[in-house]
Amino acid sequence: ATARAWIERQRRRDEAASADAEDEPTPEPDLEAPPGLDGDAAELNAEPEELTASAPAEPRVAEPRRADAGTPEADAQPSFLRMRMRRGFYVSIDRLETHDGRRFYRTIRGAYVPADAMIEASPPTMRGVVLGGRWQLPLGFVYRGGVRSLARGASDGALSLAAPIERLTPMPLTDEVITRRQRRYRVDDRGRIVREDAIRVAKTLARPAGVGEDDHWLHVDLSSQTLVAYEGDRPVFATLVSTGRAGYETPTGTFRIQSKHVSTTMDDPNAGDEAYSIEDVPWTMYFEGSYALHAAFWHDRFGRERSHGCVNLAPADARWIFQWSAPELPPGWHGLSVTQPRAGSVVHVTE
């Protein structure tokens, strides 16, 4: 349940040098946490540091070709090779070391990766909203870039372009809907008008059967790519998510959190073009088989379907949900599995 990171890597050959680079997404400006957001929830433990591998590198020193090359014995991986990494793989770094004049990153699991094949991953700045005061549902999140608000003329009510609105900005919405030329617009509590197709709207949902009046539970809405946390009937937190893309759909239904891990490795290196490996995915909460809610530090495209089926959250949001939901992780523990019925918080996933 991961996504690829954009990286740039200079490939070397003995005879010639060529460049093969992919554009990285334009970094989003830091968003000021809206009122009601617990500052502690916005912090992300930066340990261990996450780095991503580039495209597989050619050997820097040509290896002698054996006379029996091509045979199973010759093609076997050398004993010191732990894994052939691919572009978009991530490892957790312990420290930087130099051997024979070449720099390597030592991973926390004792493996070594050439330092010039790696770039550091920068966590996204997306933050959800702790509900209260003016921050209530319905709550809109701008999920497209280049969005501008509109102003309404005092005399004729005509709409005209106004100030831009940064992507991932939350907007407390009123119930007012404006329709112009078959296009719908929403109005926030400060009078800003925005196209409805530029926002994702988190809405209130009735408590599902089997959830108690004081229970902590989560609603994941696949159609709006939003998550709302509830205490009984009261919504307390809302944010954007990224769920499974076409062919990797997130399952719908009512589930419970089965296990929690401060971090865990997610990988499938044998999945062909879809191969991935990400060490120490933070704040992971499994709710159905291999499907989990977890932090995604490798992208910021929240509000869009893009995962392998898991529910991707911004790291600050995943931490908030992890600490708020049941079961509670005892101090000093790295993870736990639920052994008692109904012990984990409900995760209610709808279309």
- 179 neighbors 117 (Cβ within 8 angstroms): no
Amino acid (1-letter code) at residue 241: V
- 150 neighbors 160 (Cβ within 8 angstroms): yes
Per DSSP, the three-state class of 315 is helix
Mean pLDDT confidence for 286-290? 97
Q: What is the spatial distance between Cα 314 and Cα 298, in angstroms, rounded to a whole number?
A: 10
pLDDT digits (tens, 9 = 90+) for 106-132: 998 888 999 998 988 888 999 999 999
Residue 307 has pLDDT above 50, yes or no: yes
Cβ count near 232 (within 10 Å): 14
pTM given for the model: 0.76
Q: What is the spatial distance between Cα 115 and Cα 281, in angstroms, rounded to a whole number?
A: 21
- 194 neighbors 159 (Cβ within 8 angstroms): no
Predicted local confidence at residue 243, as pLDDT: 99
- Structural domain boundaries of the chain? 140-199, 216-350
Residue 37 has pLDDT above 70, yes or no: no
Q: Give the CATH superfamily of 216-350.
A: L,D-transpeptidase catalytic domain-like (2.40.440.10)
Burial string for 242-281 (b: 16+ CB within 10 Å, else e) reads bbbeeeeebeeebbbbbbbbebbebbeeeeeeebbbbbbb
Q: What is the spatial distance between Cα 168 and Cα 112, in angstroms, rounded to a whole number?
A: 37
Percent of the chain with pLDDT over 70: 78
Residue 53 has pLDDT above 70, yes or no: no
Q: Which residues, 6+ apart, have CB-to-CB distance to 155 below 8 Å?
A: none
Q: What is the spatial distance between Cα 191 and Cα 171, in angstroms, rounded to a whole number?
A: 10
Predicted local confidence at residue 208, as pLDDT: 97
Q: What is the spatial distance between Cα 68 and Cα 63, in angstroms, rounded to a whole number?
A: 14
Predicted local confidence at residue 157, as pLDDT: 87
Biggest CA-to-CA distance, the chain: 87
Q: Which residues, 6+ apart, have CB-to-CB distance to 89 below 8 Å?
A: 52, 53, 276, 277, 278
Residue 64 has pLDDT above 60, yes or no: no
Q: What is the spatial distance between Cα 152 and Cα 15, in angstroms, rounded to a whole number?
A: 64
Q: What is the spatial distance between Cα 282 and Cα 312, in angstroms, rounded to a whole number?
A: 11
Residue 272 has pLDDT above 80, yes or no: no
**Start-to-end Cα distance in the chain:** 19
Residue predicted with more confidence, 118 or 4: 118
Average pLDDT over the chain reads: 83
Length of the chain: 351
Residue predicted with more confidence, 86 or 308: 308
Peptide bond between residue 327 and the one before it cis (omega within 30 degrees of 0)? yes
